[in-house]
Amino acid sequence: MDIDRTHLPAEFHHQQGSSDRAASHAVEGSPVAVDWIESFRAPVQEASLDDLIGLSNAKREIASIVARILNPEVILAAGGSLPRGVVLYGPPGTGKTTLVRAMAAMLAGPDATVDFFVVPAGELTAARMAGLGAWLAARDILEKVVVLYLDEAEWALDRRDRDHTESSRAVLNAALSVIDGIDQRSSGRVLWVLSTNRQPFELDPALIRSGRIGFRIEVGHPSFAERAALFGYYGARKRALGMDWDRAAPLMGPEHSPAYVQQVLDDALALALADGFDAGDWPHLAEAIERDGKVSEAEGADEAALRQIATHEAGHAVLGQHLGLSISSLNVWTRRGGHTSWEPELRGRSPIHTERDLRDRIVATLGGVVAERILMRSPSTGGSSDLASATRLARAIVETGAWAQSPAVDFDYFMDRSRSPSAMDDRYRAIRDIVRDAEGDAMSLVARLRPHIERVATVALERRHVSGDDLRALLADIPRLADSAAA
């Protein structure tokens, strides 16, 4: 049994098979039960998955879960059970909450038979979870679907093997007991939806195991085409129909979320109105992207700094092109620095990557700071974020089992044995060695491809933004590693 009830408050120690009268009494007698859950009731608004741009995989998975809940007869008649819950995970601002609202609307149907609650996980206590359990037991859950959306679940439901207070452990134990207290054959009538900005394995494994909240759906950043569609969708609502969205999309990288697109358009519209225009135009959008959320005016970079930025971005672009990455734009900003964008699919293939794929990405990520070091004789502070990104990629190689040299590191980590100093040291050395090897590869490639980097840097400095056909033409004569290997 993976539930320790010693930390639960006295009011929660009840038999799971208690009668509706007892459960109703618990609701009426508990000051935290009805009032607390009702304070987080959210309206079920008209929404559809078709209203969301991109996220095709996430939408397909959610539609499948909704269909099972709305048509349970076949599954239940065959002796199966309905989904208890799902974890939505991905970076902030990518649309997790919007997906949940659309899910609630789909479950409601024309009769609005859904109770929808949006609860910040940080508001959870063991006593409140106890009241929630009693409240659910008192309801006829076969008549209505209850959607309980716990936002930022990592704040209350992360792994118990980390440093926790007694109260935080009690919250998790109470949550597990409430989930288990619902009849499994009707569990789809109470759907738990958890969202987190972290990876699912950072939540407690007892919570997200099969049979409890066992479905996991990734909600990632938009692709290049989706960014262009997002610009058009949100721009049409902000009186900005005249902009060239295909031109705007390459200015932002795959790490920019739909929420960020909205912010940029809001900023562009504010700049346009301040200039006396009725609607935003291309110069206002370009300036809003360059401002990058900064409200105050910043002093622009001088010519020497711009040359440094252009060299840095050219290092990324040339090494990325040589290694077969999908480069979509190259930008040199006056106030913001530079940005070279490539798509997360790396080579346009499946998002499942090999160790070689990830190592190539690390090399291209370090190409900017290495190009500064070799061509400009001194790297700038602009490389700090690249080093952080390279370290994250190296950590992904080690922790996801893609690192073929020592699978024991990955095994120890996921078997919760990596807390020992020796195992932690092994992981640290593995990550460090991967980054150092990639840095050596980047230095060799920059030295060999130096004429291409200098040429691309000169063009980037002159144009400040290169994308589309212009970028493809600029990078066309850079030798590809795959072509060299084939020869």
How far CA 130 is from CA of 14, 34, 152, 244, in Å, comes to 10, 11, 20, 54
Cα distance between residue 16 and residue 173, in whole Å: 15
Give the SS3 label for residue 61: helix
**Identity of the highest mean pLDDT range in 179-188, 229-238, 248-257, 303-312:** 303-312
| Residue where the block lists tokens 């070799």 | 374
262-276 burial, b for 16+ CB within 10 Å, e for fewer?
bbbbebbbebbeeee
Cβ-proximal residues to 110 (8 Å cutoff; 6+ apart), any chain: none
pLDDT-derived band at 37 (thresholds 50, 70, 90) equals confident
Q: Are 327 and 471 in contact (CB under 8 A)?
A: yes
- What is the per-residue pLDDT for 367? 94
More confident residue, 321 or 297: 321
In the chain the domains, ranked by start, together with CATH numbers, are: 5-218 (3.40.50.300), 224-291 (1.10.8.60), 303-486 (1.20.58.760)
pLDDT in tens, 65-89: 988 888 888 888 888 778 889 999 9
Q: Indicate whether 17 pLDDT > 50.
A: no
Of 35-49, 70-84, 130-144, where does mean pLDDT reach its minimum? 130-144
Please give the average per-residue pLDDT across 453-458, as a whole number. Answer: 95
Q: How many C-beta neighbours within 10 Å does residue 400 have?
A: 15
- What is the per-residue pLDDT for 196? 93
pLDDT in tens, 391-409: 888 887 887 654 444 444 4
Question: Pairing state of beta strands 327-332 and 465-467?
Answer: antiparallel
Give the SS3 label for residue 301: coil
| Residue where the block lists tokens 């902000």 | 238
Q: How many C-beta neighbours within 10 Å does residue 339 have?
A: 23
Please give the average per-residue pLDDT across 45-57, as a whole number. Answer: 82
pLDDT-derived band at 318 (thresholds 50, 70, 90) equals very high
Which one, of 309, 439, 326, lies nearest residue 376 by Cα? Answer: 309
pTM assigned to the model: 0.64
| Backbone φ, ψ for residue 143 (5° rounding) | -90, -30
Which one, of 83, 88, 75, lies nearest residue 211 by Cα? Answer: 83
Cβ-proximal residues to 291 (8 Å cutoff; 6+ apart), any chain: 267, 335, 336
6-45 burial, b for 16+ CB within 10 Å, e for fewer?
ebbeebbebeeeeeeeebeebbeebebbeebbeeeeeebe
Q: Are 89 and 196 in contact (CB under 8 A)?
A: yes
